[in-house]
Structure formats: structure tokens, C-alpha cells
Amino acid sequence: MLQVAFIKQNTEEVKKRLAKKHFIEPEIVDAIIAKDDERKQLTFRFDETKAKINAASKEIGALMGKGQKEEAEARKKEVETLKGELQPIQQQLDEAEKSLHDLLIKLPNLPSEQVPEGRTPAENVEVRTGGSIPQLPAGAVPHWDLAKKYDLIDFELGNKLTGSGFPVYKNKGARLQRALIQYFLDYNTKAGYTEFMPPLMVNEASAYGTGQLPDKEGQMYHATADNLYLIPTAEVPVTNIYRDTILKEADLPIRMTAYTPCFRREAGSYGKDVRGLNRLHQFDKVEIVQLVAPEQSYDVLDDMVAHVEALVQSLGLPYRILRLCGGDMGFASAITYDFEVYSAAQERWLEVSSVSNFEAFQTNRMKIRYKNSEGKTGLLHSLNGSSLALPRILACLLENNQTENGILLPPALQPYFGGEMI
């Protein structure tokens, strides 16, 4: 959530940067300023009236001490009148503060100056590429056929048990999932990330803190009886670990990693993009999250991008890194880098990771602060990235490494899987 003071001091800049995200309600900025002015006026009236009540109350005590009962009774009536005025002012102030908050949560985060102009994914900027696209053997097939051939994943059974988008991994397919999860976690913890195993459901406050509410409410599964949400990513519970916390500068940076299943309704998805593992309602992902001092966040962002890049390289997959344009960015992000790996059998790029800097947008919602060496308190910056999401990684590993004799696994995975070949 943006801070009101920043909006008022940089109004035109805020509108300009929101336009880069193609935000369609810029008039909300002016409404926020007007509502904050109203809130301040009401606060002044409330404080002024309260001060009059306090002064009159003291005066009543003094008059009673002097035996001036009539004067004291008169002042008591004045106090009652002032208290009667105070209640509606308080009510108006509460309404103004709620209206201001409701307006603020409609504003997305401001894009960084590094974010390119553009409205669609076609306008994202390719930062760099790596790896080589393999030449597949004759008769090569996509991963859904390989999964059936080697009895790795049963999509039809998942459809029977739950519905489409909920595959059942089995035999060496299940073992490969476990191998990938353990490899990703080990890779992250060796880099200094602390592992967590968070809940898979969160309350409204947690979903609001990271920006899923109210922006992505329709994309989350909602357990209405208890008003809990199945997590769309480990980012939500992990970042909220430090909600309403003031950290010491010496404790920074905070590095966290977690494996969780993720649940997304993916409403509106259809066609070839949802075939096999390309788009699921439940999938496994390992996440990394950092909380850092503001002046360090963009250096940390570069480090996190390099961390994910090295992980993708270790799997031997061809990849590209994209800097997302303003129109293709998420609600809470200030800047996002997407990683895509090339699916040789499908002949298309598949997204496997997003690495984002949210600056103070999430931490302002969650009140995650720190006290610097001078004793001043300020908001931290939050960052997160997929390290990595499993479904499309698995799809590309199966497709790109298929041979006439089976699927050859990359050396980094072989000790975790317990073999070289499926």
C-alpha cells in the first residue's frame, strides 16, 4: 500500500507511474488527497473539542474547591454539550479513515523507473538467455505422452479424484517430484536462506498483507466456513511471519525459503496453455523471500535473479530472463523478472519463476519495520522469487531429456533421484 504522505508530496509523479501500469482509475489519487484533507480537519476538530473538555473538567475541580458550586454546575453542562459534539465528530472521523483506507488499497504499487513501457507480454524486454535448445530424437513427444508412457503422472485419475488441473504423480514421477523439492531447498539453504514449513491456509490479514486481497480474491480457493484462504504461493504465509514486527538493523537481511503446495483457481484459463502440466490448480513450488533495508533492495534483487539463474543453469535447461513491462506486472510489484525455460517438444517458452521487488508496498500493509543504528524506525523492503515452481520445470526436464532409451536426468538431480535415467 502506498503512503499518503508520498502521494501528496509527489502527486503528478504518482499518476505518471500508475499510467505505466495502465491503471484505469487515476482519479482515485485526487480522491485520496481530498479524503486525507477531510480526515485531518476532523482530527483537528476532535482534538480541539477534547482539549476544551479536558480544560473545563480541570476548571470544575478548581471551582468546587473554592466552593463555587453554581459556576461548577454551569461548566458541567458545557462539558456535557461538548461531549455530545464529540461523538458525531468521532463517527465522521472513523468513516473518513475507513474511506481513505478503502481508496488506498485500490492503488497498485508504483513501477520502478527500470520497468519498460508496454501493455502486453509481447512488450516485455528480454534481458539475457542461456543454455542450448536440444535437438530431440525422431518421434519425440510432449510431456503428457511421456508421463503416460513411463507411468509417471496420471492426469485422468486426478480428474476423477478432484477435477482437471489436479494431477496424480506416481512411481518415478512422484520420486522425481521429491527429488526436485529437496534439491531446490538444499540449494536455497546453502545460500543462506532459512527453511520454513508454513500453514497452507491463511486468514484475511495475511492475504491482504501481501496484496492478494482485494486484487486476486477470485483466484484463490476460499474456505468460507472458517474464512480462510488456500495459499496461492508460500510468499503469503512466509512474508507474514514478520507482520507487525520491528526488526533490528543487525538482524537484516532476513532470508527465508519454503516448499509448499500452491492452489490457484486459474479462472478463465483454457486451450493449449492448460495441457498437461502447463497450468494447474494445485502444484508444488519452492519460494525464496527476503526482507531488507530499502537502500539495499535493488542489489538484493540482482542477487536473487542471479541465484535463480544459477539454479536453472544447474538443471541444463535453455532459459531466458524477461523484465516485465508495466502492463504485464502484478498489482503489488515494483519490478519483476520472469524466467522461462524452453519446451523443445511443445516448441514454446514456459514461465517457471518470477523474481520481484515490492519495495515498501507489502511491508506498509503488514507494518514490517526496522530500527536503524540511529534509532529511527522505517519500513523494510520485501522481495520474493520462485526457486523454483515444479510443474513446467518437470515438463521441460522430461521433454528436453528424452532419448530412445528413456529420460536422462541432469547430473545435479541424480543423487536426489537415486539414478541417472527414467
Binding site, annotated residues: 233, 264-266, 287, 351-354, 384
As given in the structure block, the three cell numbers for residue 277 are 502440466
List the binding residues for L-serine.
233, 264, 287, 384
CB atoms within 10 A of CB 351: 15
Q: Is the backbone peptide bond immediately before 322 cis, with ω within 30 degrees of 0?
A: no
- Cell 522469487 belongs to residue: 385
Helix/strand/coil for 209: helix
Q: Are 343 and 385 in contact (CB under 8 A)?
A: no
Find, among 107, 131, 119, 123, the residue nearest to 31 by Cα: 107
Find, among 316, 339, 346, the residue nearest to 389 by Cα: 339
CA separation for the pair 89, 292 (Å, rounded):
40
Q: Are 238 and 287 in contact (CB under 8 A)?
A: yes
CA separation for the pair 134, 227 (Å, rounded):
48
As given in the structure block, the three cell numbers for residue 38 are 477531510
- Cell 480428474 belongs to residue: 159
For helices 171-190 and 297-314, what crossing angle results, to 10°? Answer: 140
CA dihedral for 327, 332, 334, 340, sign (positive or negative): negative
> Amino acid identity of 357?
N
List the binding residues for ATP.
264-266, 351-354
Instruction: Find the helix or strand (DSSP H, E) in which 378 lies.
Output: strand 377-379
